[in-house]
């Protein structure tokens, strides 16, 4: 029997392959996440964000010379063009950082030396520019809106350490630096999620990488994607203490409301990134001596597992990331821009992969509007 469009339709394109890719791999039932075949656990334990970005873009582990050159290029590209610095420091301070980031990422194209981006050197420089400059733009706007002077990037600091330095103006501790580095690694790639798909669709029109990543940033801004970590933190703060968690969960069940940070479209077991972030949170809270949020989160996870594990609903990456960023002293509305700063590595890798083997995305639809009908002139309606 021939399948109809209705037979093939899946809301949100769930489970429908849209491309071939060799960048990331997920097994949602087993809780496996790999970048280019390397497990997320191994990368977080042994690697750095700079090395992970290289792996995602080029597909292999770099030699020491290749990594040194790649890292040096990132350092060299951190400075924001002066005209964009002036624009960022004249924008409304109450604007959301993601709106600023989307606009300024697109504007980077105006200062790029690339034109067609078919040349490998142009491609490489554009990808470097995006990965290096996005954190600088986030930090600049955050300090500007707080009435603080810009902190210029420090060429002696690595990617994660420099980002925290540009945000606060102070050198972060080794613990904070390593945790930020691992957070960047954890969020660097996650196969064909909404923002990555958006980037690939935009790329398929033969657009430049800055426009493609700007489209991805706009998609990530949505509360069902990158914005969820902010909502998790607000939820935990509103609960107040671990003693109030059970009542909170039962009220949510009774009212059939979603609990933020619980459940994932792909994972049917605990998100492996959540497990890594949980361990990071515990180490960080040992250093900052503020455990109420973590205690509340632990209790919520325990009760959520009791209530929802049979349905395949477990904590996802957003459940602990907001707690970690909060402990690092980062403003809540910077959480999603940090997600974007990390995901630039995966996005540009997908931009390159789509560019190298491109076909314009043009899905079909199931029409359910009016059947053919005749136009009636306005005097007869």
Q: Which are the catalytic amino acids? A: 264, 318
Give the full edge-to-edge strand order of the sheet including 32-35: 24-27, 32-35, 38-39
CA-wise closest residue to 232 among 255, 260, 202, 272: 260
Rounded Cα distance, 348 and 123, in Å: 9
Per DSSP, which regions of the chain are E strands? 24-27, 32-35, 38-39
Task: Give CA–CA dist 117/136, Å, rounded.
Answer: 23
Other beta carbons less than 10 A from residue 206's beta carbon: 13
Rounded CA gap, 333 and 97, in Å? 7
What letter does residue 77 receive in the DSSP assignment?
A: T
The number of beta carbons lying within 10 Å of the beta carbon of residue 107 is 17
190 near 196, Cβ under 8 Å?
yes
Closest CA to 341 of 231, 260, 226: 226
Q: How many residues does the chain have?
A: 381
Contacts (Cβ under 8 Å, ≥6 apart) of 208:
109, 112, 114, 117, 126
DSSP string of 202-229? Answer: HHTTT--HHHHHHHHHHHHTSTTTTTHH
Local structure of residue 20 (DSSP, 8 states): -
């Amino acid at each position: 029997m021939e399948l109809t469009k209705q037979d093939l339709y899946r809301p949100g394109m769930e489970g429908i392959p849209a491309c071939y890719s060799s960048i990331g791999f997920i097994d949602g039932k087993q809780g496996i996440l790999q970048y280019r075949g390397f497990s997320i656990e191994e990368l977080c334990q042994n690697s750095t964000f700079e090395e992970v970005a290289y792996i995602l873009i080029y597909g292999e582990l770099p030699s020491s010379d290749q990594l040194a050159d790649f890292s040096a290029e990132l350092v060299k590209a951190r400075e924001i063009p002066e005209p964009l610095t002036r624009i960022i420091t004249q924008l409304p301070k109450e604007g959301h950082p993601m709106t600023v980031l989307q606009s300024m990422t697109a504007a980077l194209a105006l200062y790029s030396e690339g034109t067609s981006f078919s040349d490998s050197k142009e491609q490489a420089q554009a990808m470097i520019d995006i990965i290096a400059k996005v954190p600088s733009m986030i930090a600049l706007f955050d300090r500007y809106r707080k009435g603080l002077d810009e902190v210029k990037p420090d060429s002696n600091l690595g990617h994660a350490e420099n980002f925290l330095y540009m945000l606060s103006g102070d050198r972060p501790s080794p613990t904070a630096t390593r945790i930020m580095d691992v957070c960047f690694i954890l969020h660097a790639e996650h196969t064909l999620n909404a923002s990555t798909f958006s980037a690939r669709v935009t790329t398929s029109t033969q657009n430049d990488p800055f426009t493609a990543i700007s489209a991805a940033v706009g998609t990530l801004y949505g509360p069902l994607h990158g914005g969820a970590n902010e909502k998790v933190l607000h939820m935990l703060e509103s609960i107040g203490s671990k003693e109030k968690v059970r009542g909170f969960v039962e009220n949510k069940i009774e009212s059939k409301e979603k609990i933020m940070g619980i459940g994932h479209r792909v994972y049917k077991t605990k998100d492996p990134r959540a497990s890594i972030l949980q361990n990071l949170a515990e180490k960080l809270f040992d250093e900052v001596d503020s455990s109420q949020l973590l205690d509340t989160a632990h209790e919520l996870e325990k009760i959520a597992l009791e209530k929802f594990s049979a349905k395949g609903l477990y904590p996802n990456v957003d459940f602990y990331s907001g707690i970690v960023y909060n402990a690092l002293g980062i403003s809540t509305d910077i959480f999603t821009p940090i997600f974007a700063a990390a995901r630039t590595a995966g996005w540009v890798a997908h931009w390159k992969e789509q560019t190298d083997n491109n076909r314009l995305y043009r899905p079909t639809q199931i029409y359910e509007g009016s059947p053919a009908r005749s136009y009636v002139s306005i005097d007869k309606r």
